[in-house]
Amino acid sequence: MTIFSYLLLLAYLVSLSAAADIRERSDLKLVERQIFYIEQLAHRASSSSIDAAGARYRFDYARFAADLERMRQGIHKYLSPSRSQPADLVDLTGDYRTEAPLAKASDEHD
């Protein structure tokens, strides 16, 4: 192979890397938009949820919203980094089921 062939191959590999970066950024922006729509759906579900009497568990919408926000911030920081800083390595909880509050005992007697 000649030097020209090596340079041509190198230019091709660099252009592939740049195309992959553009694709990744585009996909991550799509994920950000989808997180926004998921938040809207969760808010609608939260506002229409009914605390069933005697239900042992309920969905923890506040914790779910916090995890969605944490994901959005992580994507945003990756797409537009300000400068090199240590990453915030906070784990997602992933457990959105909580104990339902106990129903108050009635003072009435049968």
Q: Is residue 83 part of a domain?
A: yes
Q: Is residue 7 part of a domain?
A: yes
Q: Is residue 64 part of a domain?
A: yes
Q: Is residue 108 part of a domain?
A: no
pLDDT confidence of residue 94: 78
Which segments within 1-110 are labelled E, that is strand?
57-59, 97-99
Q: Is residue 110 part of a domain?
A: no
Q: Is residue 66 part of a domain?
A: yes
Give the pTM.
0.59
User: What percentage of the chain carries pLDDT values higher than 90?
Assistant: 29
Q: In which band, very low, low, confident or very high, does the pLDDT at 3 lie, cut at 50, 70 and 90?
A: confident
Q: In which band, very low, low, confident or very high, does the pLDDT at 17 lie, cut at 50, 70 and 90?
A: low
**59-91 in b/e burial notation, b at 16+ Cβ within 10 A?**
ebbebbeebbeeeeeeeeeeeeeeeeeeeeeee
DSSP 67-97: HHHHHHHHHHHHHS--S------PPP----E
Domain with 30 in it:
3-48+56-99
Q: Is residue 61 part of a domain?
A: yes
- Name the domain count of the chain: 1
